[in-house]
Amino acid sequence: MRRAFESPRARLLQRFAAFAQGLRFLLDLRAELLAHVKKDPRLLPLDAELEQLFSTWFDVAFLELRRITWDDPASLLEKLIQYEAVHAIRGWADLKRRLGEDRRCYAFFHPRLPGEPLIFVEVALLDEMADSIAPLVDESAPEGDPSRATTAIFYSISNTQIGLRGVGFGDSLIKRVVETLRTELPRLRAFATLSPIPGLRGWLSKNVPNLLERLDAKHRAELQAALGETALQADTVLSVWERTRETEANSPWRQWLLACTAYYLACALPGGKPADPVARFHLGNGARVERINWGGDPSAKGWKQSYGLMVNYWYDLQRIDRHRALLAQGRVAASREVERLWRDWMKP
């Protein structure tokens, strides 16, 4: 029965793995294939078979976790610069700072692909939860003492192989890194992220009418007063948010943007899953939405994605299973601060 259900094509693909460059060839094949699958459904079975094979061959039990340091070969360090997908590495000085004593970079490697990181995570060792990405990637920032750090901030996770799309091991990477850090640095007590919110802008542009309907009367009046005689409607809202970069902390427009962001992260669950892709990853791993940071990413990319807002996801190691169970019930684990942000502005 097993032979009857296994296609000749799958048996052929398995034979490629016996050759020195066979696995590399298959990864490149699927990376190229993914660009054509939507246009030609006949390729779907081949894509499914490759994904299934990779899920077995790249099981986390076969992967090696390694810390990458400045002493590693230049060919490997160049790959970090090439593959960094969250906060671009501006050059060798930037990379050297990210690999400093108070920083860590860990990656998964496969024995058949030596020197080729499959996924890597960058960590900052601090004494408090970070609220801005700029100090973490500032190449001129002085180094801290990692032995005195109490908080590990995961600020960038990058997949390097397009051909491994759909084969998830990011959650295992974080778990393994947490275990490694706790052993190396016993003073560490908190594990959190400083994450982008890449889906926020697009979601807001589509959902402003609904958000306006949810506004309570008090805050609607505050926004209208700040707006003047212009009507409070969707296009006006988006136009005002474009100018909130330098607004004061007590501005009602700034506070409403924070409230809408909190609602997006804590309540937007299409199909029972978080709408934001980064939230979907961390919340699915058992994290909690801890804090939203105004001006967390002042870069052009950060402004384009989320008006510069960033979020901390907190990995409470004692409550990870509880948070996962909560998400399975269609509810997001969020701090009181985040819950209060949107509840203060929205009708029940």
* Stated length of the chain: 348
Surface-to-core class of residue 311, CB atoms within 10 Å of its CB (0-12 exposed, 13-18 middle, 19+ buried): buried
Give me the amino acid identity at 3: R
Helix/strand/coil for 152: strand
| Per annotation, catalytic residue among 156, 158, 195, 306 | 195
323 carries an active-site annotation:
no
Separation in Å, CA 175 to CA 23, 138, 170, 191, 194: 26, 27, 9, 11, 17
Joined tokens for residue 234: 């969707």
Pairing of strands 310-314, 119-126: unpaired
Helix/strand/coil for 167: coil
| Per annotation, catalytic residue among 87, 110, 156, 282 | 282
Separation in Å, CA 198 to CA 101, 163, 167, 184: 30, 22, 21, 33
Pairing of strands 151-159, 190-193: parallel
Q: Dihedral through CA 65, CA 67, CA 68, CA 70, nearest 10?
A: -160
Cβ atoms of 157 and 121 closer than 8 Å: yes
- Residue 133 DSSP label: S
Rounded CA-CA distance 123/184 in Å is 14
Rounded CA-CA distance 87/299 in Å is 10
195 carries an active-site annotation:
yes
Joined tokens for residue 41: 């459904």
- Residues forming the active site: 195, 282
